[in-house]
Amino acid sequence: MEKAMSNYNCDYVRRHYGVPAEIGRRVIANGEPGVIMADRGQYIGVILDSDPKKRIRNYHPTWEMQYGEMA
């Protein structure tokens, strides 16, 4: 079962990688806009705007990732 809207809120990713990751923040992941929806430990769970099924996918917090405003 997927762990959406976790209480951890990307704490490990923020501390380890020094990025502003948090659930609800807009991102550009690999060139595609989306929103962080889950804390996945060393990854962030993102739903891409273009995904019709709205699946949470794991992304590395620094690989091809741009952070935007809170959604």
The pTM (predicted TM-score) of the whole model is 0.87
Q: Within a domain: residue 4?
A: no
Q: What tokens does 27 get?
A: 């991102």
Q: Within a domain: residue 35?
A: yes
Q: Within a domain: residue 5?
A: no
pLDDT tens, per residue, the chain with 71 residues = 444 444 579 999 999 999 999 999 999 999 999 999 999 999 999 999 999 999 999 999 999 999 999 98
Q: Within a domain: residue 41?
A: yes
Sequence-ordered list of residues with C-beta below 8 angstroms from that of 25, at least 6 positions apart, any chain: 35, 36, 67, 68, 69, 70, 71
